[in-house]
Structure 1
Amino acid sequence: MSSQFDITETLDVKGASCPMPVVKTKSAIDDLAEGEVLEVVATDSGSMSDIEGWADSTGGVELLDQVEDDDVFKHYVRKTE
């Protein structure tokens, strides 16, 4: 499945468990410019709620979509400021 977003960068956090997917996502988002989109690829099912919760409680980011593909979870986060 291809995303409908212009992906600026892909972050591979497969094999990492909570809280590392969120920690690494925050670090990668900090390096992007406003409007750019980060694709996060994870294998931790908890990343679905963790990244959603982080995006909801953090200013400056927007969770665009989350996709479960077999045992891989993809998250699309846009930097908004």
Structure 2
Amino acid sequence: MAKYGIIRMQKFHKDAILGIQKHNQREGGNSKNKDIDSSRTMLNYDFVNEDKIKYHEEIKKMTATRVKRKIRNDA
């Protein structure tokens, strides 16, 4: 079994957060990708969070404690 991970970093606008959350947590019912086996979705797991999280709320918590300046409107 492989013992490595792949991490990708990418910038997103706040308008895209909900779509990213739905994609990552498989919340959308219909996907354009026909290779996805929805019967195996229950086997997915998250190393950090036990339950599904709301990305907007988590981002607000993180920025409130870490960022000392005003956040730009388009950030």
- TM (norm. structure 2) is 0.29
Give the number of the structure whose residues are more often strand, by fraction. Answer: 1
Task: Pick the structure with greater CA Rg.
Answer: 2
Query: Relative contact order, CA 8 A, sep 6+: which one is greater?
Result: 2
